[in-house]
C-alpha cells in the first residue's frame, strides 16, 4: 500500500449511505446489510478510505441482495484517509497505526461474531489495503473463500500460506501489484491441487478501479461491475453452508 495509486480517486465519504445499518459487531463499528438469518456471510474489507465509501456500501447491498449477510467493519476506528495530499497528514504515522497485521487481528473477532450468529460459511473480499488483510485470513480455514481486488503489496510467502479457494482480480495499470506479479502468483496457486484459484487481469483499468470509479464514466462502471460479478460468482461457487 505504498504506491500513489492507492490514494487516487478518493471517494466522498457518507455515514448515511446504503440500505443497511451501522452497529457494533465483533468490537468494531460495522456496516451490516442483508438477511440476519443467512447461513452465508461475506466480510468486505475496505481500502484506506474506509467503510463509509458509497461505492463500497453499494457493493455490499448488491451482494446482500444475492442472499448473503454482509459486514463491512471500520478497521480504521473512525480514522480513514480523507486527504492524502493534506500537508498536515502524517502518512508514516497512519500506516504504522493502521497496518494490515492489526487489520488481520481485528478481523478475527468479526469472524467469531459471524459464527456465533449461526453463519456456517464465510467469504472475505478485500480491496487494496483490505486485499492484504484477506490474503492473511486465507492462510487459515476461518474463511471458506477469498477474493482480493487490486491488492496492496503481497509477498510470495503470503501466497504460499493460502489454504482456501482464492481469486485475485488485478488491474492492467497497477504499480503496487503489477499484472506480471499477479500472474506469477496465479502459477504458484495453480500448483495447489487441494483448492481452486483464479487470477484475472482487467485491461485498461488502474489500481482501485473496482470501487473507486466515477458513476459518470460508463466504461469504468462496466469494468467495476464485471469485477464485482466475478467476486460474487467466486463466492457462489466456493461457499457451501454446513447442513
Counts of helices then strands in the chain (DSSP H, E): 7, 8
pLDDT of residue 26: 98
The residue ranges of DSSP E strands in 87-138, in sequence order, are: 121-127
For residue 147, pLDDT beyond 50: yes
Does the pLDDT at position 211 exceed 90? yes
- Distance of alpha carbon 76 from alpha carbon 102, whole angstroms: 10
Report pLDDT for 36.
95
Convert the pLDDT of each residue in 162-175 to its tens digit. 999 999 999 999 99
Please state the rounded mean pLDDT for residues 65-73. Answer: 97
- pLDDT of res. 129: 96
Do you know the residue count of the chain? 243
Read off the pLDDT band of 84 (50, 70, 90). confident
| Percent of the chain whose predicted confidence (pLDDT) is above 90 | 84
Residue 8: which pLDDT band, with cuts at 50, 70 and 90? low
Asked whether the predicted pLDDT for residue 32 surpasses 90, the reply is: yes
pLDDT score of 239 more than 90: no
pLDDT of residue 1: 47
Q: Provide mean pLDDT across the span 220-238.
A: 96
Taking residues 70-95, report their average pLDDT.
92
Confidence of residue 11 (pLDDT cuts 50, 70, 90): confident
| Chain mean pLDDT for the chain | 93
Alpha carbon distance 61, 193 (integer Å): 33
Among 70-79, 80-89, 97-106, 143-152, which is the least confidently predicted range? 80-89
Q: Which residues pair with 31 in a beta bridge?
A: 22, 72
Amino acid at each position: 500500500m505504498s504506491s500513489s495509486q492507492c490514494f487516487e480517486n478518493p471517494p466522498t465519504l457518507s455515514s448515511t449511505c446504503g440500505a443497511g445499518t451501522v452497529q457494533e459487531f465483533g468490537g468494531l463499528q460495522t456496516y451490516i446489510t442483508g438477511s440476519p438469518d443467512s447461513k452465508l456471510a461475506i466480510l468486505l474489507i475496505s481500502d484506506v478510505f474506509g467503510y463509509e465509501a458509497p461505492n463500497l456500501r453499494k457493493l455490499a447491498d448488491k451482494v446482500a441482495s444475492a442472499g448473503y449477510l454482509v459486514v463491512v467493519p471500520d478497521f480504521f476506528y473512525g480514522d480513514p484517509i480523507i486527504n492524502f495530499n493534506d500537508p498536515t497528514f502524517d502518512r508514516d504515522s497512519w500506516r504504522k497505526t493502521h497496518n494490515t497485521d492489526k487489520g488481520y487481528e481485528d478481523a478475527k473477532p468479526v469472524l467469531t461474531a459471524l459464527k456465533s450468529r449461526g453463519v456456517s460459511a464465510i467469504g472475505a473480499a478485500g480491496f487494496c489495503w483490505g486485499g492484504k488483510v484477506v490474503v492473511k485470513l486465507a492462510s487459515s480455514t476461518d474463511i471458506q473463500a477469498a477474493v482480493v481486488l487490486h491488492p496492496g503489496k503481497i509477498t510470495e510467502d503470503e501466497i504460499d500460506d493460502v489454504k482456501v479457494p482464492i481469486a485475485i482480480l488485478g488491474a492492467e495499470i497497477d504499480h503496487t501489484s503489477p499484472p506480471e506479479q499477479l500472474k506469477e502468483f496465479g502459477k504458484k496457486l495453480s500448483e495447489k491441487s487441494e483448492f481452486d484459484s483464479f487470477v484475472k487481469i482487467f485491461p485498461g483499468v488502474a489500481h482501485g478501479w473496482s470501487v473507486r470509479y466515477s458513476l459518470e464514466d460508463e466504461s469504468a462502471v462496466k469494468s467495476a461491475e464485471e469485477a464485482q460479478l466475478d467476486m460474487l460468482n467466486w463466492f457462489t461457487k466456493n461457499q457451501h453452508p454446513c447442513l
